[in-house]
Structure 1
């Protein structure tokens, strides 16, 4: 079990002030998005903007924010990822495999193929180029699966795992990679959408519907974030759902205790997600299942994710990025080429009809997390008139808990530490080929245009 330490009032007060500072940065990010249209045009989230502001005023730039605060922010980022993942599988109505397979299968294939490729290419580059030339740590190869599809949240959450494996700087490098991937995904995605529109490859493109004039929704589009069915005389709805998340985290701690006996370095957040699944499986067998509201759970995860991103970016270690700039730059270019190649080569062969819409959402998820994929899909397919959104949503139970920031992603650094980059790189490349073979055997893989005919 974890070695619990008492926290005195002074430490709690310092934590409160540090969290309050993150709130200030988030509000500054919202205000900057309001007055700088380019930030909205390129869908840069307020949390990322606020994090950059915090980084500018931190010890590596203007040195206004003391190092004690940024150190606290760094620790907060590693904790909040557990809160983000714990409710992921709670309140979900998991689809039957047979019903969802046909529609979701191409999206599931894209997710696993891109994740394995995202590990294979950096692993082989590291073993043959970076380690011999630059002395780069072997664990460097794993940050791209962690940071591109995993995003800033997973990158920050892996700090404990990288530290346990002997590379304390891993999370900072991954955060830099996540920022580069997000910006690349948005810019390249919009370019590819415009190219497809000029070629007449989009069914419902309107040429600009995704550009938000304002972050403030009109009254008619206001949305309700929470729906409670529990009497407040008993317990507030938000407190009830936060308690469910707390139980999931405790189950994750217990699981980690036993996992650490076999494998060291497994982070808490994927185990907390399994804890959430345990809570879900128990509660759906009781009358209390009617009290569980997925929107409320998503709101809790969303708040945690916003504070996580702003804290992680604001506490980013610039010297660590500078120390790894050669390997990072080369691999980012390779990853950019790889992601575009997968889009144009894999997409038409597994989706056929509306292949651009179906591929662009996966491209966005590969380079800059799911939210960027949905932003690009909204640009290519306003109001989601094609089947791309439904297929992508159905793939979530089969892919999100495992790759692109899930359990399998968290295991890659352990695999590299134990078996080396050569074995992991070749193994992931072989898995990519096996996936293509399975797709051909099951009819998912076809010549471009064959599905439409």
Structure 2
């Protein structure tokens, strides 16, 4: 279990104030979207706009928001991702094991391929260019797996490891890289979503939508976000579903306590999702299954996601130690090009139908952690009409504990310190090639033309 600290009334009051300011930023984002049609045209969410307003008002710009609130926002973002993931596998009909494996396999492939590529390319650049030319420390090559898919939380958490390896500034540089990855992931992702929408590649995009279309739905399109079947005299419907999520999180903490005895650094959110799956397996065998409403669970996750995005963007740390700024700038450009190439080249080959929606969530997770992937998916597929959300959720137990901030991520600095960048870079490149070979053998990897032929044949049979 995590180390517990008593929280007094003053600290809770500070938390309430910080959360209240986030709420105000979200409303400002809604207002900005309403007043500036271009933000709706390019799928820019209100949470992102509110976060940018918070960043501008923060201690590193206008100074209207004190550093104490900014620090609180940073902590909130790391907690809310668990609330987003905990209910993912609750309240719906789960596929059979073979169906789940088939659905998750492309997402698992994308996660591992991108993580090994994110290590291989910087490792080879550092060995052949940065260390000889700029005197860059060899461990520099590992910050991109730590900071892009790992994010600010992993970057900060690696401070002790980098210090132990003789590079005390490593965590600060990783935080700077995480900031760049987060901004690039959101901006580039939104641009690619817009391009895909113009090409008619998004299932959930309505052709002919006006640039000035309102965010306010007409009365006949009003959405029902929650259905309750429990008497309020017993418990409010929202409280009931929040309690289910709380049990899932508690189970996640229990599993993390056991896992930490063997492996440290495994994040909580995939374990909380497994906890949610356990809750689901128990409750479907009881009469209480009739009380579980998936729409309510999705609504709670949506609230957590909105507050997560606004807090993460508003708390970006701009002043970081960039002693190796030349190598950082070059590698960030290379990483940006590589991430778009992986999205454009690999996506159509491993995902069949709705490849853009399935690829964009992985692109976001590769460049700016899971929360960015979910933001992009929400823009591309707001009503979850594709299977991208579920496939990405099913991939989490197989990928999140290991890459993108997990065990393998934590081992890369040790591997570079032990064997050097040349060996690690070549080794990770070989692993990428082996993954493609495995995907071809198992049928996960196919040429887009072959997939299109299969889909046409399947449509004719139906």
Q: For residues 192 and 118 of structure 1, do their structure 2 counterparts lie closer, same or farther at Cα, with a shift above 3 Å needed? A: farther
Give the gaps of 5 or more residues in structure 2: 163-169, 365-372, 454-462
**Is structure 2 residue 186 aligned with structure 1 residue 182?**
yes
1-side partners of 2:66 and 2:83: how far apart? 27
Distance 1:254 1:172, change over 3 A: farther
- Residue deviations 1:326-346 (CA, integer Å, cap 9, x gap): 445433432333244335533
Pairs within 5 Å for 1:152-301: 155-158=151-154, 161-163=157-159, 165-166=161-162, 168-169=171-172, 170-171=174-175, 173-191=177-195, 194=198, 208-209=208-209, 211=211, 213-301=213-301
Distance in 1, matches of 2:10 and 2:101, equals: 54
Q: 1:358 is matched with which residue: 350, 354, 357?
A: 354
Give, in whole Å, the separation in 1 of the partners of 2:450 and 2:354.
16
Q: CA deviation at 1:45?
A: 1.4
2:135 is the alignment partner of 1:140: no
Task: Measure how far apart 1:91 and its partner are.
Answer: 2.1
Find the aligned partners of 1:46 and 1:58 in 2 and give their Cα distance: 18
Comparing 97-106 with 137-146, greater Cα deviation is found at 97-106
Contact 1:33 1:39 in 2 (8 A): yes
Cα separation, 1, equivalents of 2:224 and 2:79: 27
DSSP-derived class of the 1:320 partner? coil
Task: Give the paired residue count.
Answer: 429
Q: What CA distance in whole angstroms lies between the structure 1 residues aligned with 2:449 and 2:307?
A: 45
What is aligned with 1:304?
304
Please report the TM-score for the alignment, with normalisation by the length of structure 2: 0.79
Q: What CA distance in whole angstroms lies between the structure 1 residues aligned with 2:323 and 2:42? A: 29
Q: 2:415 aligns with which of 391, 415, 419?
A: 419
Q: Determine the C-alpha separation between the residues in 2 that align with 1:360 and 1:32.
A: 27
Aligned twin of 1:150: none
CA distance in structure 1 between the partners assigned to 2:311 and 2:251 by the alignment: 26
> Does the residue aligned with 2:405 lie in a helix, a strand or coil?
helix
The 8 Å contact of residues 203 and 354 in structure 2, kept in 1 or not, is answered as no
8 Å CA contact 2:87–2:298 kept in 1: the answer is: yes
Cα-Cα RMSD: 3.5
Residue in 2 that maps onto 1:438: 438
Q: Would the aligned equivalents of 2:124 and 2:425 in 1 still touch at CA under 8 Å? A: yes
Q: What TM-score do the two structures reach when normalised by structure 1?
A: 0.81
Gaps spanning 5+ residues in structure 1: where? 148-154
Cα contact 1:172–1:316 (8 A) shared by 2: no
Aligned to 2:80: 80
Cα shift at 1:347: 4.8
Shift of 1:18: 1.2
Alignment of 1:85-100 (within 5 A): 85-99=85-99
After TM superposition, give the deviation of residue 241 of structure 1 in Å.
Answer: 1.1
TM-aligned CA distance change 1:68 to 1:218, over 3 Å? same
Q: Which residue of 2 aligns with 1:410?
A: 405
Q: Which residue of 2 aligns with 1:66?
A: 66
* 1-structure distance, mates of 2:31, 2:85: 28
What SS does the aligned partner of 1:372 have?
Answer: helix
The answer as to whether partners of 1:126 and 1:141 remain within 8 angstroms in 2 is no
Question: Pairwise mapping of residues 32-43 of structure 1 onto structure 2 (< 5 A)?
Answer: 32-43=32-43
Q: Tell me if the contact between 1:227 and 1:296 (Cα under 8 Å) persists in the aligned partners.
A: yes
Shift of 1:99: 4.5
Provide the rounded CA distance (Å) in 2 between the counterparts of 1:69 and 1:343.
36
User: Using the alignment, how far apart are the partners of 2:129 and 2:446 within structure 1?
Assistant: 35
